[in-house]
Structure 1
Amino acid sequence: MTETGTVAEIEPYRGFQYRRRSFHLDAQEEARLLALCGIDPAIYSGGADPAQFITHAINEGVSNGVSANGGVNMVQKLDIRRLPRLDEEVMLEGGILDVTHAPRGRVTTSEVRYHGQDGALALISARRSLKTDPTKQADPALRGAGERPPPVFDSLDGLVRLGEVQLTPEIVQGYSLHTRNPIHTEMEAANRAGYRAPIIGGAHGVRYLTAAIWREFAPTGADLDIYFRRPLFWDDGFRILARRSGGGWDALCIEKDGKVAVEMRINALKT
């Protein structure tokens, strides 16, 4: 049986296109996920947390036969022209931009574009991910995963402390209730992929960063580059930090044990 139960899995290739379709966002499920993160949905004023489109784009690939089992986010782009509203019909299109191979597995670059019910482009979710073979034990000696972008933060000195988060297995399993990737929920699958325990999904961590931005600035749009540097395990605690620039911020990060786990560059905010 495939992950979707109906769509045969494919080997992704450059130029593969997803089916165009229209849909409505699941407002009830979004409220559940934000509650697990301790985030008030009111900060988005009826709009959708842009972090959810990281997961949505992954699931769209799965629905088109691109397996997510064993996949890990490396780089994510969110180009937000405006937040899609939870009560509007959204149309999507997208596909695979590139596929390469590295010592640790297959590296895939994909992009999904979301249009509002007025037809205008609302948001682009683009992603580069690494996929190990979920049926084999990862080789701890393998370290290559392709080109590694330079760090956003050279130092953690002088950053603004925005909050702290303590994960639990119950929170992570609840958040990952409908995941198609068992490295977020199952110890055996995580160990096979080379992790000591299940790790949180990329969107789960990014939600704490987007929430901080919308809570502070309430932007109408944003251009964000996100880099996943180190895994966050289902029992980790971490801090949310921001770097000041002028009257605002130019970057945020999740810091764990004195090291950056996830970092976000703010290229632009529309307020």
Structure 2
Amino acid sequence: MLPDPSGQATRSDDELAPGFAFTPWTFAVDAAYQARKLACCGIDPAIWGDVLDPSHFALLTIRHVNRDGFSINGSVHMIQHYRQHAPVRIGEEITLQGRITGIEPAPRGTLMHAGFEVVRADGSIAMELSRTSVRMDQEGERKGPGSAAARAENPDAPALGLARIGEKQLTPEGVGNYSDDKMNRIHDDPEIARQFGFRAPIAAGIMGSHIMMEALVRDGGGPPQQLAMEVRFRRPMFWDELLTVTGERTNGHLSRVALMKPEGKPACFGLVDSVSYGSRG
């Protein structure tokens, strides 16, 4: 890992062992925050009404790691799971709590698995999230984790052959502003990106999650009330790329959604296990 630009990295990664619990963090996400982040992704925040895009909490779990004194500089998101039991409202006070669930070596560095819960003031759990990220060595562009058997089965297969929904143009301004906390300079500093083997800065993977969530909202006519979804980040999204949004509907709703790079390979894709919709708040 490179030195941490946030100035908050005061602890060694050696502490991040399975079972390590992060300090519970209580906060509320306001409308300005949601609007600012979604604008960076080319998304109208009005589609969410008065509820929050679950993708925000994926980003905030990363910030949670840094907030507890650990560097995230050079860390790359690989897999994200969402299990939303009920939507969280704009301005609602919640507590984020989580722990490390696994650590394992990978060809490009170390894989870190973590699980988090979004807890309401009454103690109920609004959302459960889990994430896998690779804390990269500086040896060139990363390859996805997985066994030879998994690679033989083509991990891109769920993202292939889907119908075109639309497109999104990434911009250096949007990608840089999305990661305006400067915790991970791989998103806005060309030299840092080159040190990790990328031709240009890469978008935070969660920007892809926001774009795929937008597709779900538009497909369902409003924000999901309950949602179980897995997102896999397959390739870097460079800050100047035009992405094609694709999807497939099963049983009346989007069951697969993907962002395809200009060369026709998936940057990321989402597998929707279940989703239900209600009226907008």
TM-score (norm 1): 0.91
In the TM superposition, residue 61 of structure 1 has moved relative to its aligned partner by 0.8
Give the aligned partner of residue 81 of structure 2: 77
SS of the equivalent of 2:219 reads helix
| Structural mapping, 1:179-258, within 5 Å | 179-217=182-220, 218=222, 219-256=224-261, 257-258=263-264
In the TM superposition, residue 73 of structure 1 has moved relative to its aligned partner by 0.8
In 1, Cα distance between equivalents of 2:255 and 2:271: 6
2:12 to 10, 13, 24: 10
Q: Deviations over 1:186-231 (max 9, x none)?
A: 1111111111111000111110100110122132110000101111
In the TM superposition, residue 42 of structure 1 has moved relative to its aligned partner by 2.2
In the TM superposition, residue 10 of structure 1 has moved relative to its aligned partner by 2.6
1:36 to 37, 40, 43: 40
In the TM superposition, residue 243 of structure 1 has moved relative to its aligned partner by 1.0
Count of matched residue positions in the alignment of Structure 1 and Structure 2:
266
In 1, Cα distance between equivalents of 2:158 and 2:187: 29
Q: Give structure 1 stretches of 5+ with no counterpart.
A: none
Query: What is the one-letter code of the residue matched to 1:84?
Result: V
Q: 1:143 to 1:236 in 2, by over 3 A?
A: closer
In the TM superposition, residue 252 of structure 1 has moved relative to its aligned partner by 0.4
For the pair 1:110 / 2:111, whether they are aligned, the reply is: no
CA RMSD of the aligned region, Å? Answer: 2.1
SS of the equivalent of 1:220 reads strand
Give the aligned partner of residue 103 of structure 2: 99
TM-score (norm 2): 0.88
In 1, Cα distance between equivalents of 2:50 and 2:159: 36
| Structural mapping, 1:109-148, within 5 Å | 109-133=113-137, 137-139=138-140, 143=143, 145-147=145-147
In the TM superposition, residue 91 of structure 1 has moved relative to its aligned partner by 1.1
Q: Percent of aligned pairs with the same residue?
A: 33
For the pair 1:264 / 2:267, whether they are aligned, the reply is: no
For the pair 1:171 / 2:174, whether they are aligned, the reply is: yes
In 2, Cα distance between equivalents of 1:167 and 1:94: 31
In 2, Cα distance between equivalents of 1:82 and 1:210: 15
Query: What is the one-letter code of the residue matched to 2:272?
Result: I
